[in-house]
Structure 1
């Protein structure tokens, strides 16, 4: 714990015009319309200029009981005299809610008007919840003085003083404002999560601080990461939050093989004791990107020591809290890892590299990570961006790549949208992009009665594949909204068809934002034409322009698909329309391949080898490893190249565009929008 220098409490209080007793600003406003006698009794909120409500004082008592509150003036003094401050504390200490409020007070003070405050979170739900909690504690309205910015949702105004945001959204803001000049204080929370965006942000902050001496940065870490964070930034001040936890820990006597059923049995045992209280269950689920097979793998692995400790602390605030660990005490003490592998070492880095290339234009492309990214993933990301025409011959971001980076999407999906500008199917591609970006809209059938509901989905199925089925679904949902159906009727319709109402609503929001981006960067948006054969072909061409690396072939006629880029085998996801109709196409383009108990291809549509050879870059095809699938594609290319093209006498020898694409231009990349 840092100690206060004599007189420093008064210095901090003077600078911020803060009342130590109330933890808020003293009234310095001049209001001639309010009775002076009334102002003597009412304290005004500095964020909106209105008197505090009774709830503010109720919540203030709760805030003052938080462990972080004892370190308030230590923190404020450190913030006043240093550019960067590291705060170390356990879970439930109040650091994620109180520190941003104090920083907002700092930015509002007379002598420190250097912009607003941004507090980053890894999870969007956490950012939303914290902003609502803090708005309540500050006695202001959410979306005005305090707000949040998460992917595809902005609940802020130009006057927002404190905004919670996901770290990826703050990075996207850097594309238009590399030095984040609108902020006076930037708080990076959830550092222990170590997402890719978090590590990129931690690196860029060092360069931004050099360019902006007035900027303040606060890094919030758990105690186990504090020393590493302090040394990374050059022995900066550390404020340690003292907290005491007294949760009783109960370990299992043997290692549980089936953790889910073990947790379920334990929940029932606790419930039957009839003790009062709530039960929290932490389930295991981790994703490790596999570079070799270009797939996300759902791998169950033991919890890290740091996360286990934080979970104990969450329950430790309860007077009689108990923590039941489904692992042995010996494992916890001897075999449990301190940290899990940082995401930057085991993730698909294509989006990150695209962002770094974009920031290189602004002179901020150099990144010195806390942990070095996986070299193989970096090379694959550069290779993929090259295939997508996002890089020029010198390895810098091309004009086409700059446009791709404007979309908050996977680069392959961004490429497909831009290709749709050439193939005149932008309206449909925006819908499809929204549907695959939103959470899965299909719900699993929970009982036998749901089998009939599942059969209701058949009316949405499109013979061209799952991508087109998703467009059908969205159009049906949109028609209900346009027809002014009540929310109850829409939710009931979703239940009847085993569809996720929240996911479909999110798809509407995403599509609207994508359309705004198209208009902002002045890209053409075609009129809807869904349903025609020409439109179906154009959508497939657009998809192949971005997803030519995600093509698979059925090798035995029974739905065992082998990936074109490697020898991994997967089956169609049970949500696929092909499974419902028992129709197995030979060649498919898929949106996602995941490795778990059952390797699955999700969102797949049939394509032809001819179409693949027309749209895939020739140098990508040349680099494919030898396989039976590659030989079949080569035959398709040779056949289309030797077939004479028909001449239309009425066109002075011009060939049909479709036939010309399958012959003379078969070895060229057709998406020439750049």
Structure 2
């Protein structure tokens, strides 16, 4: 690689010249944009040199030149996430970008944006030009971008059109220790890409001990171990996980009353607890003496849009309490004022349940990993205090459990099938998915007509993979194009993909919030209610006296979530137009439109049908023979005692831990289900009274020639025995 030796030889000279530089001298030219460096560049350069990663710069560049894969192991605040991508950009520049530029994946949108802004500042270039970022629904890049930060899902989708990532010379995978599904997929697929592109370099940034697992997986590859920042005083307690939430809040308030300077970081179990804790802390702070100074609760939670305000300098005589949860440790890389850390030591994770034929999710409370615990302890530096609200001798798991072992992997299976078509037929998983879960995923894709008779992607499957939706929702959206209700289905898909627009009722206002939300309820079900909310939200844009934020506040709805849904809807609309699928005019409210929306929903979600077995809301699910209640926030849950519940419903989600509830429920007729469900799916349903009722309806319709004829889009589909049927439309 031409020029690499010159960079390596010049590193020591550069550091010597940096030390001798005085601000009165002529400014050097920036190698990336050809302009003179600003004085700020040199100030930031002195800060960069104090980072633990800096002393490994020469060693890193040598290893990068001589190895295809390089692992860098270090905790938060070592500087690896800001410095290493810059050094990779220098490496690509030395080769005149003949092998490509640099991309750095992150697991959080917020992290990708913040790192891009910081690195652009340190490199003294413009954001959106030499340095850029790409996150879902937002891109800030140009043809001149030589270092791009993006979320791991964005990079995966880019591989669909560029499977060998030929645009890049170096791929940096950050936060590999978090073991997200997308990051694990990237790490597995890149092994195959490296075989076909020997000039490509892959740098994996991780935290110990997860880096040891990666080293074992990749074999004889170099691993650069960075010195960890010193931890301060660590104090353990014997609190149980049941009382750790309030213990953490009491401790945060006691720290504030002690008047010891410094900000506080509190780690709770879930995003819901973060929201609740911020409300409590804000309320308690208003009651405190003014002499203690201002106490500000700052939610730092990646999963919720709009929950992460910009991190700025803390005002004098003010203390910030950063309230966070799992997967948020790396968001603290820019906060240098943390003196106290309060760690509850537990997290809530939503996991998929893979008992035979049970497709459900459950929220599990469990201890954090040693990896997370160590990162949190080192956020305070050597002079701070970390209060661990769990016993010192508690046994924490060494690493964060891989998400791919706990998630519904139907989307993953669809993506891998698409990559097979692109020539990347092997994914070298660090942790292989459960075989039963993989078989269920392929079975579901088969039911959705995403696979052909040979197990490859069908034409329908190819189009489904183009949509950034789960396969069931993608199939429902494509079906809506045939049923002339694409406009309404776009809204449903966007609302269910975005974070929930419903705000949890504040204490004492449950009834008032419920009454507000009931104004939007639609008699046909919750999917139709979501359309009502979105349409009313859009009309509020034209309201001369209220902003959208005021309108949402009045109706206890989340404005950020609705704005995200609006952006997702626009993105999905663009995709449908790009692949030249028809988008009908909105006709919401008509009888025909209502029927067509239900047909489109059934095309994707026929596996999620349930029947009220006793008229009291005990819904028996056809696929897994479990019984569940309608969630209390459902429109049917609110009016159950007044109007009664429908016998047959389609539901979007089944959660075991949430009081064994089905959520987002819409009334469906048995005849519509029989029309839309594939015959081979219906035949494979386990025996039950509900199936017998459906079979009776089917037999009666056949003998009476009263069954609804298939729509024109219907084609024949297979059964297990190979017979042909015409019952399933939109195949």
- Normalised TM-score (structure 1): 0.89
Instruction: State the alpha-carbon separation in 1 of the partners of residues 573 and 97 from structure 2.
Output: 39
Q: Indicate whether 1:631 and 2:692 are aligned.
A: yes
Q: Indicate whether 1:157 and 2:157 are aligned.
A: no
Q: Indicate whether 1:298 and 2:298 are aligned.
A: no
Deviations 1:533-558 (A, max 9, x none): 10011010000000011112222322
Q: Which of 309, 321, 324 is the aligned partner of 2:387? A: 324
Indicate if the aligned counterparts of 2:710 and 2:729 stay in contact, CA closer than 8 A: no
Indicate if the aligned counterparts of 1:88 and 1:220 stay in contact, CA closer than 8 A: yes
Residue 671 (structure 1) shift: 2.8
Tell me which residue corresponds to 2:158: 173
Instruction: State the alpha-carbon separation in 1 of the partners of residues 162 and 543 from structure 2.
Output: 40
Deviations 1:455-512 (A, max 9, x none): 233332211111111111111112233x2758x6110000000010000110111011
Tell me which residue corresponds to 1:227: 212
404-413 or 222-231: bigger deviation: 222-231
Q: Indicate whether 1:562 and 2:623 are aligned.
A: no
Indicate if the aligned counterparts of 1:547 and 1:589 stay in contact, CA closer than 8 A: yes
SS in structure 1 of the partner of residue 570 of structure 2: helix
Tell me which residue corresponds to 1:538: 596
Residue 21 (structure 1) shift: 4.9
Superposed, 1:146-295 pairs within 5 Å as: 146-253=131-238, 255-283=240-268, 284-292=347-355, 293-295=358-360
Residue 240 (structure 1) shift: 1.6
Instruction: State the alpha-carbon separation in 2 of the partners of residues 182 and 154 from structure 1.
Output: 17
Tell me which residue corresponds to 2:476: 416
Tell me which residue corresponds to 1:607: 668
- Normalised TM-score (structure 2): 0.82
Number of positions where the alignment pairs a residue of Structure 1 with one of Structure 2: 636
Indicate if the aligned counterparts of 2:75 and 2:228 stay in contact, CA closer than 8 A: yes
Instruction: State the alpha-carbon separation in 2 of the partners of residues 22 and 428 from structure 1.
Output: 63
245-254 or 381-390: bigger deviation: 245-254
Q: Indicate whether 1:621 and 2:621 are aligned.
A: no
Superposed, 1:120-159 pairs within 5 Å as: 120-159=105-144
Residue 181 (structure 1) shift: 0.5
Superposed, 1:352-367 pairs within 5 Å as: 352-367=412-427
Indicate if the aligned counterparts of 1:256 and 1:262 stay in contact, CA closer than 8 A: no
SS in structure 1 of the partner of residue 203 of structure 2: strand
Instruction: State the alpha-carbon separation in 1 of the partners of residues 710 and 98 from structure 2.
Output: 61
186-195 or 446-455: bigger deviation: 446-455
SS in structure 2 of the partner of residue 323 of structure 1: strand
Deviations 1:546-594 (A, max 9, x none): 0011112222322222222113332222321222333422211111112
Instruction: State the alpha-carbon separation in 1 of the partners of residues 163 and 24 from structure 2.
Output: 43
Instruction: Summarize the Cα distance change of 1:571–1:659 in structure 2 as closer, same or farther, 3 Å threshold.
Output: farther
Instruction: Summarize the Cα distance change of 1:238–1:658 in structure 2 as closer, same or farther, 3 Å threshold.
Output: closer
Residue 22 (structure 1) shift: 7.1
Tell me which residue corresponds to 1:387: 447
Q: Indicate whether 1:370 and 2:370 are aligned.
A: no
Deviations 1:181-205 (A, max 9, x none): 0011100111111112212211111
Instruction: Summarize the Cα distance change of 1:534–1:112 in structure 2 as closer, same or farther, 3 Å threshold.
Output: closer
Indicate if the aligned counterparts of 1:358 and 1:365 stay in contact, CA closer than 8 A: no
Q: Indicate whether 1:349 and 2:412 are aligned.
A: no
Report the RMSD for the aligned CA atoms in angstroms.
Answer: 2.7
Instruction: Summarize the Cα distance change of 1:110–1:636 in structure 2 as closer, same or farther, 3 Å threshold.
Output: same
Deviations 1:315-365 (A, max 9, x none): 3x2x5321111211111xxx2211243112221110011011111112212
Instruction: Summarize the Cα distance change of 1:567–1:281 in structure 2 as closer, same or farther, 3 Å threshold.
Output: farther
Residue 112 (structure 1) shift: 5.0
